[in-house]
Structure 1
């Protein structure tokens, strides 16, 4: 934090202090936030209404980049490399030019007189024109992806049939407030891995604290949310928060909720939640021995069909498909294939059993939870204090240590947080409980726990393209899904 403060605040202000003095202005004006922007506008010759543009989130960054370029031109910095350096690395170049005896203020760069006087230096070659256009496009696209909206493609079946593999979505950063980059040094348009060469697309030598701009609303139960996969915090990946893999699920529990799953039905604070109408789960279909028509399998989207016994088969499908199947004479009965209540998952894959870094006070308690019968569990809320004991500690220890950055130790039956004995903990962040609509084919909070607020990327808005890789060339595009709003 101290190093980041020195780099991104103190050093640029020192540079502005010296550069303002070179223009005949008091140096102290360079260290007063907002007022120093006003002075930069005056020194650059731009109209004062530019200051109003600085109040508009997102647009203010573009305006500031343009203002910084004009400001640098006013000190005789005309080359593309100087502009990139001043904009991208102000903590290096502003102090450097501020203390450079050869750098002088030469006039307001936006004025006609300045442009006429320095038209030779300002004249751009074709290569420079292209370079400026490309750089601006990259900066503009990066700002749009960071602050407003970003494209996302569905990679897995965890949200079927609400969302299908090959659906291309637009994800809004505005709804919940745009999260500012936490790993600022990264290759444009690459998330965490460089294409083809498979190396890291970022440098984690500088990591900034979490900050989110004001949003239009809070996350609501039922929202389809894109977030960073919390388990990527662990080795061997050990990725920074904003470079962890993107996941998409439906929010089931918000901060402070008591969540439970009973026979595959989600309950929040004792009230049954609305089941997504297009969500899927496993069913056992009993027939009279006749096979189901292959066209019917396609039409009803019956997936993962497996024999169950001589007269039955197992399939993953929706409630609508189940109702349709009941109307066929060769179908005798259909029942959900849910796990038995009171019996723990036999493979111990359900949270908090298998999750790394979850600490216990001895033997892991027998929660007797499985994918269809889970909880009750309280979703942590900022400011909520949980009592830590042998039952709650395994549930919340990962959040306390990994997501909230505390040192957690267990010495005998004592819990030490940052070296101090603790029997309770007050959370610093809000958390969410996410589940896929394809309830028996989704890796979600039932397996790895809570999603911290700093992992939230944005809200899924609508499908702008949908491609079926399994279909023939003429039928690859699912035209009926285009521009469908995600609910």
Structure 2
């Protein structure tokens, strides 16, 4: 055989690829293309909890834009495609922490605005007890003690972009002063009404015990989850929107309807900043100033419970208490100037939401993107077609 001819034939660019090679090339291309779209343009999410009801419902599937606020460059670039933090089937980490990039973000179409619905990484998700991932590690430590938690659970750390994804409504941006009084949120002294699709709890007293609760189904209530007895005569707890409760008030067998909020003198130590010296709860809190890039705060016993975690964890400083004040990176400091913008996020289901009232500020490097619209919504019961909430398909998020 002529060697030159054989060599030319073996390297002939017109030679057809094998079926296996074609499939492999197609799969590699699809994975790369889908990853680029997912990281830099748009990503699909699902709503697993009721913290945003009735704005967003369990079973809603969303598209979240990375373009609106500017796509975040991956901070943990070496990761298994399409897995967030845990490998499917086998478990274990779906990423490698050997390569870590600094926080950077591409230019976006706009800044985060108040009332935007935002997806972000859970700020207190830096440390996780793997056997109790549905519980906040820091709450476990507060209730059980550090030694007990670390001996009973497998504790691991997660980089910013591999922490759990949360979705809430942005109530305050950097520089805003947030106050909550009797369940009403005020931003910079101006009361902000709950969005029409948001809901809270109400105490409803009936005129008698003879009530046909099926009536409330027609008003949009789920009588199994939205209505429960308060243990008082003919009094029930309702969870609903302002519009729904206005209809309840009109019913001739209803005696009274009142918002069921916590009293102002009730102290809830689980509420941010978990400070025993503050009489705060989910319905009465603040004032709190949301940090802004370039804003300088005085460091003292009043401010440090609110800003210590942001200074130490989110902005990466070594923070120590000294006999006469605070040391930041070994230097005495009476003030601190923030390097990032922060946000105050809250769920629309105000009495059933783990949000900034518990974990505090959301740093800008935790922001994933803006929720755009619902592309599918599915109930957990019924036949295939009855499960689909047809009225919510391609519904915009406001």
Q: Which protein is bigger by CA-based radius of gyration?
A: 1
Q: 2:376 maps to which residue?
A: 465
What are the equivalent positions in structure 2 for 1:304-315 lying under 5 Å apart?
304-308=226-230, 309-315=232-238
**Partner SS, residue 187 of structure 1:** coil
426, 432, 451: which one aligns with 2:362: 451
Q: 1:76 maps to which residue?
A: none
Q: Distance in 2 between matches of 1:412 and 1:471?
A: 64
Q: Distance in 1 between matches of 2:323 and 2:238?
A: 48
Q: 1:281 maps to which residue?
A: 200
Give the 3 Å change call, closer, same or farther, for CA 116–226 of structure 1 in structure 2: farther
Q: Distance in 2 between matches of 1:324 and 1:376?
A: 34
Give the 3 Å change call, closer, same or farther, for CA 434–117 of structure 1 in structure 2: same
Mapped pair 1:351 → 2:266: no
Q: 2:146 maps to which residue?
A: none
Residues 169, 462 of structure 1: 8 Å contact kept: yes
Residues 344, 366 of structure 1: 8 Å contact kept: no
Q: Distance in 2 between matches of 1:415 and 1:365?
A: 21
Residues 267, 273 of structure 1: 8 Å contact kept: yes
Q: 2:239 maps to which residue?
A: 316
Give the 3 Å change call, closer, same or farther, for CA 273–420 of structure 1 in structure 2: same
Residues 267, 280 of structure 2: 8 Å contact kept: yes
Displacement of 1:472 in angstroms is 4.2
Q: 2:316 maps to which residue?
A: 405
Q: Per-residue displacement from partner, 1:406-453 (whole Å, max 9, x unpaired)?
A: 111113352111111111101010000000000000000000100000
Q: Per-residue displacement from partner, 1:118-140 (whole Å, max 9, x unpaired)?
A: 53597522211111110000000
**Partner SS, residue 326 of structure 1:** helix
Give the 3 Å change call, closer, same or farther, for CA 140–260 of structure 1 in structure 2: same
**Partner SS, residue 119 of structure 1:** coil
**Partner SS, residue 306 of structure 2:** helix
Q: 1:425 maps to which residue?
A: 336
Give the 3 Å change call, closer, same or farther, for CA 298–135 of structure 1 in structure 2: farther
When the two structures are aligned, how many residues end up with a matched partner?
361
User: How much is the aligned-residue C-alpha RMSD, in angstroms?
Assistant: 1.8
Residues 219, 247 of structure 2: 8 Å contact kept: no
Mapped pair 1:249 → 2:168: yes
**Partner SS, residue 157 of structure 2:** coil
Give the 3 Å change call, closer, same or farther, for CA 280–168 of structure 1 in structure 2: same
200, 217, 231: which one aligns with 1:297: 217
Residues 465, 481 of structure 1: 8 Å contact kept: yes
Q: Distance in 2 between matches of 1:205 and 1:123?
A: 40
Q: Distance in 2 between matches of 1:464 and 1:210?
A: 30
Q: Distance in 2 between matches of 1:474 and 1:483?
A: 17
More helix by share: 1
Give the 3 Å change call, closer, same or farther, for CA 424–404 of structure 1 in structure 2: same
Mapped pair 1:140 → 2:33: yes
Give TM-score scaled by structure 2 length.
Answer: 0.87
Q: State the 4+ residue runs in structure 1 displaced beyond 6 angstroms.
A: none
List runs of 5+ in structure 2 lacking aligned partners. 1-7, 129-154
Q: Distance in 2 between matches of 1:198 and 1:272?
A: 46
Q: 1:66 maps to which residue?
A: none
Residues 178, 185 of structure 2: 8 Å contact kept: yes
Which has the larger displacement, 287-296 or 423-432? 287-296
More strand by share: 2
Give TM-score scaled by structure 1 length.
Answer: 0.72
**Partner SS, residue 316 of structure 1:** strand
